[in-house]
Chains A and B, each alone.
Chain A
């Protein structure tokens, strides 16, 4: 399967040049871009690990691409996403977020059904990869 979180998951994986243009768009809006990675892609796992702080005051997308290259060297077997934060009043939240790196194999999720009263079912979504400890989920060391 292919996890379709983020803004561009239905398109073919973006090239670095395409990523760079999206980053430039964010920087021109005055948003701070952040690199985050995880090996727990549960849809409600909001807090992926941060690769450093959001890059405030950056002008050139090349800075983000450099960091992304470094991040991929260490965590290339995991999901990596870029998120852009807008600090302006009334937003103060993420304005764009998209995946820029995926594990080679994405096993996806198991849906557990727990039957309760009436016809009601309690559902739990479990990433198959999360059966293993963090750091060893996608063939990592």
Chain B
């Protein structure tokens, strides 16, 4: 339906719920037979979009929405409206429904629960038949699920919290071009997080100066350096200059260390043709990795993932722009959904939060994102914001990236929160080192190796972390000086996005 029709529609006052709360999850109200198709307007919950007895099929896609109805709007009706408007419904009854297997195509809201401790908000569970979606297309999936409903007038706010993607649908996607296992084999790096840094300043360095930062950081001990999201091709540094000098730096650092190194060459550009051209040049130069920004769009991301698989390239995704719709708890799309879509779409790296750094990230919620990226099966864990069991059917694992305001002194906390299959990116924490970039990189690498060694030895590294670092610093001046400079840097702010469920201690059996 055209957007305008939807915007123009409102629920007449006569239909609004009585003052007392409708009891949730009552029986079906669906009108059946001839009456269902009488011309005119009918409540969504009577049109077949509210089916509390419906049991989702294994092949259904399930979406969980946080629905905030306008004052006085029945939450069941609001939730049924979301189901309707994200599948077959329009604002009025249409007879052409009767030319179709309409009951199959109707999304069915089958459960509505009040959100704990959030008056006026409801979790609506909506099941969609697999036939509503095109194989292997995030564009189609997202157009269906979030394409039409978020501006719906009877709602104050709407948030897509989570999705259950059936194996039958997962299997239609390529998934990460490389995956964690192959990335590690290709990079020849096992048993520890990988280390990276974003070149700073973000803007203004010439290609030659930029390559200098890359060389120093890689030679000092990092595995990767990275272009920032807005480093594309600007007057101060056109992309070919950057690529050429970066690859000189990578190869020189590789020879100096005997290790495989990489730098994420950002191929983000205004058109697909330009992106392919840049990616081809990166390949020609022997780069092991390229990067793209989330803002290029889902289809462009999937195209680049297919290109990366065909060309033996690791594909890094910078989640540029995601906070515009992921951060607020009441409206938008949760990042856990974006992470699921990106695993399907086929990127190899995704920024997924640091917990301790400068950017938003509650520990439990972040843990949920990391699980979505890295596990083959995600069990429902409400305390991590994971609402559904999710099987990934051996789709490649996606390496999460922790970036933004982290430093060597937090190594024990980072390892504890984020585990070992992660890329830790210390931009300022490398380049801002008082003894220089190489020293900054060395400090991070020594801190990391010392922490892994201690963890594997069975030490309580989280609590003994500062002690372990201090001991490693005794034989490593760069680490000593890093610990001194950043010892008091923490970012303790209230999170804006946290799980709604908190585990309650139960008696151990």
CB distance from B282 to the nearest CB of A (A): 12
Q: Considering the chains assembled together, what is the distance between the CA atoms of A98 and B450 in angstroms? A: 13
Q: In the complex the two chains form, is B257's CB within 8 Å of A12's CB?
A: no
Q: Considering the chains assembled together, what is the distance between the CA atoms of A5 and B144 in angstroms? A: 48
Q: In the complex the two chains form, is B285's CB within 8 Å of A120's CB?
A: yes
- Does B458 sit at the interface, judged by CB under 8 A? yes
**CB-CB contacts of B230-267 with A at 8 A, as 1s and 0s?**
00000000001000100110011011111110000000
Closest to A9 in B: B449
- Does B456 sit at the interface, judged by CB under 8 A? yes
Residues on A with C-beta less than 8 A from B191 are 7, 84, 95-98
- Does A110 sit at the interface, judged by CB under 8 A? yes
Q: In the complex the two chains form, is A11's CB within 8 Å of B472's CB?
A: yes
- Does B181 sit at the interface, judged by CB under 8 A? yes
Closest to A7 in B: B191
Residues on B with C-beta less than 8 A from A135 are none
Contact of B457 among A25, A44, A83, A125 (CB under 8 A): A25
Contact of B252 among A46, A90, A111 (CB under 8 A): A111
CB distance from A36 to the nearest CB of B (A): 12
CB distance from B57 to the nearest CB of A (A): 27
Q: Considering the chains assembled together, what is the distance between the CA atoms of A123 and B221 in angstroms? A: 20
- Does A76 sit at the interface, judged by CB under 8 A? no
Q: How many residues of B contact A (CB 8 A)?
A: 39
Q: In the complex the two chains form, is B258's CB within 8 Å of A7's CB?
A: no
Residues on A with C-beta less than 8 A from B260 are 43-44
- Does B445 sit at the interface, judged by CB under 8 A? yes
Q: Which of B182-190, B291-299, B347-355, B356-364 sits within the interface?
A: B182-190
Contact of A90 among B185, B286, B376 (CB under 8 A): B376
* CB within 8 Å of B: which A50-106 residues: 83-84, 89-98
- Does B107 sit at the interface, judged by CB under 8 A? no
Q: In the complex the two chains form, is A125's CB within 8 Å of B255's CB?
A: yes
- Does A136 sit at the interface, judged by CB under 8 A? no
**CB-CB contacts of A13-25 with B at 8 A, as 1s and 0s?**
0100010011001
Residues on B with C-beta less than 8 A from A109 are 254-256, 258
- Does B453 sit at the interface, judged by CB under 8 A? yes
- Does B156 sit at the interface, judged by CB under 8 A? no
The number of residue pairs between A and B whose CB atoms lie closer than 8 Å in the complex comes to: 110
Q: Considering the chains assembled together, what is the distance between the CA atoms of A122 and B188 in angstroms? A: 22
Q: In the complex the two chains form, is B258's CB within 8 Å of A41's CB?
A: yes
A90 with B394, Cβ < 8 A, contacts A5-B188, A21-B457, A121-B248 known: yes
Bin the interface of chain A by size.
35 or more
Contact of B244 among A42, A84, A111, A119 (CB under 8 A): A119
- Does B439 sit at the interface, judged by CB under 8 A? no
Q: In the complex the two chains form, is A97's CB within 8 Å of B258's CB?
A: no
Q: In the complex the two chains form, is B259's CB within 8 Å of A43's CB?
A: yes
Residues on A with C-beta less than 8 A from B252 are 111
Residues of A within 8 A of B (CB): 1, 3-5, 7-12, 14, 18, 21-22, 25, 41-44, 46, 83-84, 89-98, 108-111, 119-123, 125, 127
Residues of B within 8 A of A (CB): 181, 184-185, 188, 190-192, 221, 240, 244, 247-248, 251-252, 254-260, 284-286, 376, 394, 397, 442, 445-446, 449-450, 452-453, 456-458, 472, 475
Other than A1-B258, A111-B255, give 12 A-B pairs with Cβ distance below 8 A: A4-B221, A7-B452, A21-B456, A43-B188, A43-B258, A89-B376, A93-B181, A96-B191, A97-B188, A108-B255, A121-B244, A125-B251
**What are some 17 contacts across the A-B interface (CB < 8 A)?**
A1-B256, A1-B257, A3-B258, A7-B452, A12-B475, A21-B457, A42-B258, A90-B181, A93-B181, A93-B184, A97-B188, A97-B190, A109-B255, A111-B252, A119-B240, A123-B247, A125-B255
